[in-house]
Structure 1
Amino acid sequence: MSDLKFPTIEQELNLKKLELAALLEITKAINNNLPEEALYKIFHFTLLAQLNIRTLSLFLIDEEWECKLCFGTEHNFREIGLPEEIAELREITSLADLNIDKRWLDFETVIPIIHNGRILAFVMIGNVHAYYTTLGALSFVQTLSNIILVAMENRRLERHRLTQEAMRKEIEIAREVQNMLFPKSLPNNLDVAIHATYIPHSSIGGDYYDFIPIDQDQFLFCVADVSGKGVPASLLMSNFQAGLRTILRQTNDLHTIVSELNDLIYRNAIAEKFITCFLGIYNRKTREMSYVNAGHNASILLYENTSYKLLEDGCTMLGIFDQLPFLTVTKVQVPPNSFVFSYTDGLTEVFNKEDDEFGLENTIKFLQCCRFVSSRNIHTQLLQEINSYNSSTSFSDDITLLSCRFK
């Protein structure tokens, strides 16, 4: 015991001066708002110049442990994974006490950096001044590392917050754009009563419906579904709506309208997106409806006696081919008291606990049973029906319903 040497008061004072200088250097670097790579370098040179720590590695956790800083070592620890024995440590530990690869004996001590109960990093040091083998000195290195790494973590969280805020604003704008696509009102007159319901799966959906008067006798109605969701789907749908209304001012020929829409979507779609849709043009005088089903779920024409016709002729989905390989415009007579029901696949692709799909057949049976109920009540009751049928806690897709009751 008598041979043990303790630092003199002068030595301790000099060490404290070095520690203070190191602390000031790190604090100054943080306050100058330097980029992360610059902070790593300052951390490196501060430990080397001020504290005489000549061997160090710094491992940070992101999705996995990654070596961000390494100097004074025989091995390149940027290419070596952090051992589980180190990753489990929560206290300052001598590496000689661990059963690990001998390469890690380039270092003497591992120092965990903990913030709010969570491990941020591990600092490993070696080849140090004798003073830095004491617990008090190692705790200072831990504190110094904690200051700079927590500052970097806070910056990362702030960047994440700003990114999330930008995304939130983007979503708000896209939602506003999407809401502007839907018609402000739907007709309920002597000829027809139209009612629509739209339930987005997320903040921004990929469904769309529309009602567009053409002249005194004709109007167009439409239900469409973009592949995918989110902002890209919303933007493509706004292109679709703008294109439809522009083309409709020039012609009411459905063959031309659908061909032009396909060309528009083919040229503007990104990430292999496409659109399925059902478009119908009804003539009040002739009671004739022309329609094209572009790869969409078949609309249901339900007659007064509850018999029905599936409206499924037309073409493939829009935006896949530069020119549609086939396109058929079909005309059907719409007798008095007929009912046309259009929808997106979010309605029928609902599964129960036995993994059975609600499907088209159940939809038709429901409509036949509720044939003379108001369109609003049909939509409400149908949504209640599939909600009871659904084994999940929520719907997995957007749901759009459009009913046209012809008087």
Structure 2
Amino acid sequence: MSHKILVVDDEPDLELLIKQKFRKQIRDNELQFVFAQNGVQALEKIRQHDDITVVLSDINMPEMDGLTLLQKLHELNNPVLKSVIVSAYGDIDNIRTAMNRGAFDFLTKPIDFNDLDITVKKTMQHLEVLKDALRSHDELVAVQRDLSTATRIQQSLLPRTFPPFPDRPEVDIYAEMLTAKEVGGDFYDFYYIDEDRLAFVIGDVSGKGIPAAIYMAVCRTLLKAIAHQIVHPGEVLRKTNTLLIPDSEDATFVTVFYGVINIHSGEMQYSNGGHCSPYIVRASGQVEQLPLTDGFILGKIDHLDYDAKKAHLEQGDTLFLYTDGVIEAMDSDSNLYEEDRLWTYLQATNGSSIQDIVKGSIADLKRFAGDAQQSDDITVLTLRYAGVNGS
């Protein structure tokens, strides 16, 4: 069966290189290629060629970039149209955004054409399996059932009783999650690792549905088990990453922020594995963003080291953690909510309870997004340090 691939890139030599690399498949009619130089042209090509099954797109392009194109492709609601994005090596923010907007896989520049060949074959195989699954009405119903099951898996694993430790008033905690239509892999957790230290974590698994929900459950369980054995947050992430590698298939990975707070002193140590950097809302109303630590996403590359940094919470200070579904929420014109708007919101929360801060942040996001459907889970976790004499 022939597959038609749309290549979206403004580099003039790429068309010739691809035709040369895949000349045998083109000659044997296994693959057909269509080319566009930006997202606007790509959408027009898709309208002209309704049999396109794969879009290979660069991120940085004129007129309409690759991330905006991904959002537009997601809105087409075509289950047998898959996207592979091309990004600069180490551009984790854009790669994470692309995966959350539905990209099937990613490649890094400069393109390794052997890697491209493998990725194309893997995508083709996935499409054949998917097409087989969608050929009957019963299978379509099963897909919906899978999404419902994924939601139940996700919700059943998240702490939902607040305050979670009524006999430990030193730290107050509250969290909420808005689940996207296509269930993602957001999660949060918190637990005492000894009498003096409270561990907390927030994470975001790439992908959707049951695979993301199961991977999330595995990641959450590993983190909790390792946290009770290892004190250093960076070592917790390093060990978790090593154990996740055998369970990571295709493009699956997870971003994680993990921290430990001493409830008597307010001293906090944390490590960040490619996740959004949290904010501290001081009791005075001042807002600070935690400095990043050196740490890559988990589940993709083995033998990585993760460092840790320290911060101090005074009585009344609030730690605000979130997933990228917050800052990447979009309105109907594809404008992003972004960190600047979140910062502005947090500056106006002085004196608010942590419940009001969380609920208010979600309400502000909803006002911004309006009726636009969100493609990613939206999760917020807050901790307020009350001190040893907390109330």
Scaled by the length of structure 2, the TM-score of the pair is 0.60
Amino acid at match of 1:187: F
Query: Residue 315 of structure 1 aligns to a residue in which SS?
Result: coil
Question: Quick one: distance in 2 between partners of 1:390 and 1:267?
Answer: 38
Equivalent residue, structure 1, for 2:187: 208
- The Cα shift of 1:349 comes to 1.2
Partner of 1:291: 270
Q: 1:331 aligns with which of 310, 313, 316?
A: 310
| Root mean square deviation, CA, Å | 2.4
Q: Is the 8 A contact 2:287 2:346 kept in 1?
A: no
Q: What does residue 182 of structure 1 align with?
A: 158
The reply to whether residue 380 of structure 1 matches residue 359 of structure 2 is yes
Quote the offset at 1:335 in angstroms.
1.0
- Relative distance call for 1:374 and 1:347 in structure 2 (3 A) is same
Q: Which amino acid in structure 1 is aligned with residue 165 of structure 2?
A: P
Residues 299-318 of structure 1 aligned to structure 2 (within 5 Å): 299-311=278-290, 312-318=292-298
1:5-404 correspondence runs (5 A): 160-185=136-161, 186-187=164-165, 189-202=168-181, 204-311=183-290, 312-324=292-304, 326-352=305-331, 355-390=334-369, 392-404=371-383
Kept in 1: contact 2:203–2:257 (CA 8 A)? yes
DSSP-derived class of the 2:143 partner: helix
Q: Is contact 2:147-2:183 (8 Å) kept?
A: yes
Aligned position for 1:405: 384
Cα pair distance change 1:392/1:166, threshold 3 Å: closer
- Structure 1 pair 286–277 and aligned structure 2 pair: CA distance change class (3 A): same
Segment drifting more, 333-342 vs 180-189: 180-189
The answer as to whether partners of 2:170 and 2:385 remain within 8 angstroms in 1 is yes
Distance 1:172 1:157, change over 3 A: closer
Identity %: 27
Displacement of 1:225 after TM fit?
0.4
Supply the distance in 1 between the matched residues of 2:294 and 2:267 (Cα, whole angstroms).
17
Shift in Å, 1:391: 5.4
Give the 4+ runs in structure 1 shifted more than 6 A.
156-159
Gaps of 5+ in 1: 1-155
Output one character per residue of 1:268-304: Cα deviation in whole Å (capped at 9) or x when no partner.
Answer: 1112111111111111122111111111111001212
Q: What secondary structure does 1:273 align onto? A: coil
Contact 1:314–1:330 (8 Å) recurs in 2: no
Question: Secondary structure in 2 aligned to 1:250?
Answer: coil
Structure 1 residues 187, 365: closer, same or farther in 2, change over 3 A? farther
Give per-residue Cα distances to partners, 1:60-112, cap 9 Å, x unaligned.
xxxxxxxxxxxxxxxxxxxxxxxxxxxxxxxxxxxxxxxxxxxxxxxxxxxxx
Counterparts of 1:375 and 1:158, CA distance in 2 = 45
Report the Cα distance in structure 2 between the residues aligned to 1:166 and 1:318, rounded to whole angstroms. 30
- The gaps in structure 2 that reach 5 residues or longer are 1-131, 387-391
In 1: Cα distance, 2:368 partner to 2:142 partner: 38
Whole-angstrom CA distance in 2 between matches of 1:365 and 1:401: 16
Q: How many residues align?
A: 251
Distance 1:333 1:164, change over 3 A: same
Q: Judge which range, 183-192 or 380-389, deviates more.
A: 183-192
* 2:149/2:210 contact within 8 Å kept: no
- The equivalent residue for 2:389 is none
- In 2: Cα distance, 1:371 partner to 1:298 partner: 20
Whichever of the two has the greater Rg, that structure is 1
